[in-house]
Amino acid sequence: MNSHKYELQVEDFLCFGLYSTSNAMNKIYIPLLKGLNLTYAQYLVMTVLWQGDALLVKEIGQRLHLESNTLTPLLKRLEAAGLIERRRSEEDERKVLIWLTEAGRELQEQARCVPEEVMKATGLEERDIMELNSKLQTLRQALDRSRQEG
Amino acid sequence: MNSHKYELQVEDFLCFGLYSTSNAMNKIYIPLLKGLNLTYAQYLVMTVLWQGDALLVKEIGQRLHLESNTLTPLLKRLEAAGLIERRRSEEDERKVLIWLTEAGRELQEQARCVPEEVMKATGLEERDIMELNSKLQTLRQALDRSRQEG
DNA sequence: AGCGATTTAATCGTGCACGATTTAATGTGA
DNA sequence: TCACATTAAATCGTGCACGATTAAATCGCT
């Protein structure tokens, strides 16, 4: 056993607040998305595509801050589920375009109630959510910048 | 392509702010912990143990909001690395007590500079970090409560 | 034209997180 | 006492995230 003195407690780490709250949020989504047969990451990808499809893997990655090592297998699962199509660009064979299928488009209706359920679970009002989200985005940008420099 | 109208953008989701910022934070830790041969989750477990060891798997889980399905394999890796010992309690054979080894204790010194490096990367001052962390803890509690009820 | 640099996606291996289940030890009530 | 519930940890299968690397197409420059 240590004498605690001035040791930092894990609960005081901002990283831990982020980590544990992000995990908790994920757990909120799991039952909400179960009926749609989507994981949380898949739901984020679908949300991006519902805003506008015919996107490159790289473009989805830029929106979600993910790369092909994460996205390629995830997109293959969405394709296997019949929600998207992956098609090589004909002008540039390096590029893979992601299109929604009709089923993928229809899923948007079923998913419409999800954000409200999540908002209820947070116990926060919209303006508090926006404020917190804004702080998180700023923090993420700082972390990305620091990583780019260092 | 959709006409966007009033569609929610993924960037407006609080869950996405949490998710992407938590991922970004993890990426800050990876190079900092590389020299210690620790992953981020392992570092959290070690931090808990540095505050006081001889903990049950369940007790570590309560601190980190994780369960044995995540912790057991992680603890086995820490044991294989020589940083901890796992010992069955003699009074109650269901329980497994986690002890730091001498190497595990010594690692704390090498890890001492990590929090400051992370703080620099956030670009935030201590009081802003504490304020944000406090909001996140409150949110996590709300999410946990909602999950317990629902 | 041709060759090295760049870009895009895919692949590989590791280690979480999670829900669900199992195993084994202990507790509890008729 | 002895069945049944509860508890603690482990196990199992799935799907991310990540760094690192590879493969193939295209670009750019001479």
Q: Look at residue A150 and tell me whether its pLDDT is greater than 80.
A: no
- Could you tell me the pLDDT band of residue A8, with boundaries at 50, 70 and 90? confident
For chain B of 150 residues, list the mean pLDDT of each consecutive stretch of 10: 61 97 98 97 98 98 98 98 97 97 98 97 97 98 92
**pLDDT at res. B10:** 95
DSSP annotation of A8: P
**pLDDT at res. A117:** 97
**pLDDT at res. A114:** 97
Average pLDDT over residues A23-51: 98
Query: To the nearest whole angstrom, how far is the Cα of A72 from the nearest Cα of chain B?
Result: 18
Q: Look at residue A70 and tell me whether its pLDDT is greater than 60.
A: yes
**pLDDT at res. B8:** 80
A12 close to B (CB below 8 A): yes
**pLDDT at res. B149:** 83
**pLDDT at res. B6:** 60
Rounded to 5°, angle at Cα A22 from B44 and B150: 120
* pLDDT per position as a tens digit, B6-46: 678 999 999 999 999 999 999 999 999 999 999 999 999 99
| CA–CA dist A48, A59 (Å, integer) | 10
Do B14 and A133 form a contact (C-beta atoms < 8 A)?
A: yes
Average pLDDT over chain A reads: 95
- Distances in Å between the alpha carbon of B18 and those of A84, A148, B71, B78, B87? 26, 20, 23, 28, 36
**pLDDT at res. A50:** 98
B113 close to A (CB below 8 A): no
Listed range (A1-5, A10-14, A52-56, B78-82) with the worst mean pLDDT: A1-5
| CA–CA dist B70, B61 (Å, integer) | 9
Among the partner-chain residues B21, B115, B144, the one whose CB lies closest to the CB of A139 is: B21
Average pLDDT over residues A110-133: 97
Question: Does the beta-carbon distance from B143 to A7 stay under 8 Å?
Answer: no
Q: Look at residue A5 and tell me whether its pLDDT is greater than 80.
A: no
Q: Tell which B residues from 54 to 93 touch A, by Cβ distance under 8 Å.
A: 54, 63-65
**pLDDT at res. A99:** 98
- DSSP letter for each residue of B48-79: HHHH---EEHHHHHHHHT--HHHHHHHHHHHH
Partner residues linked to B116 by β-bridges:
none
Prediction pTM value: 0.94
Amino acid symbol at A40 = Y
Q: Tell which A residues from 121 to 150 touch B, by Cβ distance under 8 Å.
A: 121-124, 129-130, 132-133, 135-137, 139-140, 142-147, 150
Q: Look at residue A30 and tell me whether its pLDDT is greater than 80.
A: yes
Chain position carrying tokens 């999800």: A114
Q: Is the dihedral of CA A40, A126, A130, B10 positive or negative?
A: positive
Average pLDDT over residues A121-129: 97
Question: How far in angstroms lies nucleotide D29's C1' from the CA of residue A92?
Answer: 21
Do A29 and A42 form a contact (C-beta atoms < 8 A)?
A: no
Query: To the nearest whole angstrom, how far is the Cα of A56 from the nearest Cα of chain B?
Result: 14
Write phi, then psi, for B98 (nearest 5 degrees). Answer: -105, 125
**pLDDT at res. A6:** 61
B9 close to A (CB below 8 A): yes
**pLDDT at res. A1:** 41
Amino acid symbol at B83 = L
